[in-house]
Amino acid sequence: MYKIHHIDHPILKHALTVLRNKNTATEEFRRHTAIISQIMIMEATRNLSTMQVPVETPLAKTKGSQIGQAIVLVPVLRAGISMLFAAKDFLPWAPVGFIGLERDEETAVARQYYQKFPSDLTNKLVLILDPMLATGGSLLDTVEALQQKGAVELAVVCIVAAPEGIERLKNVHPDIHIYTADIDSNLNRSKFIVPGLGDFGDRYFGT
């Protein structure tokens, strides 16, 4: 199965264009981030196992489906929080883990300052939420931290990705699925994605 999933959907394309626009205000930026995040997470969970369960409608008894695989959501702080809000709207039962990574603006190397995961990650689909896959360094650190806690099945959900970050993650962890709304051109000298979205966290949180 191909591991890089470039999601193509007209609503997704429209919302992404709104995010790319430098004149988009914070409130609208947040709203379209939620739209994109929900579409992306729906795609990332497309192959979840289900089990048949009985259900009684107002008119008759019938058969329905229930998700049979546990999911854990792990946003990469702080920008990943933006995707978590959308995910919890339709996955309210999913436990949440957190990892805090701060990028050095000069070296582009991330420093971990916080980590808190659910105690048991085995036999669960762990969705790593991070809007921007740039160099891939932060996601490699996140994957390593999760694997040390027993995670086996992991997927990365991002909004835009740079080819450099995809390649780096793919080379180290070829088994991990990457879901993205768009694959951008390249990283600039400051390791920002081009054309990208600018500083996602600042635009989302209005800082």
Using only the alpha carbons of the chain, give its radius of gyration.
Answer: 18
Q: Is 107 a catalytic residue?
A: yes
H helices within the chain, ranges in order? 10-20, 26-44, 81-90, 137-148, 163-172, 200-205
Q: CA-to-CA distance for 12 and 47, rounded, in angstroms?
A: 20
Q: Are strands 98-103 and 70-77 parallel, antiparallel or unpaired?
A: parallel
Q: Which of 161, 154, 196, 200 has its CA nearest to residue 180?
A: 161
Q: Is 103 a catalytic residue?
A: yes
Write down the catalytic residue from 8, 89, 120, 202. 202
176 near 125, Cβ under 8 Å?
no
Q: CA-to-CA distance for 67 and 51, rounded, in angstroms?
A: 6
Residue 25 Rama label (left phi>0; alpha psi -120 to 50; beta): beta
Write down the catalytic residue from 17, 26, 50, 107. 107
Q: Which residues are catalytic?
A: 103, 107, 199, 202
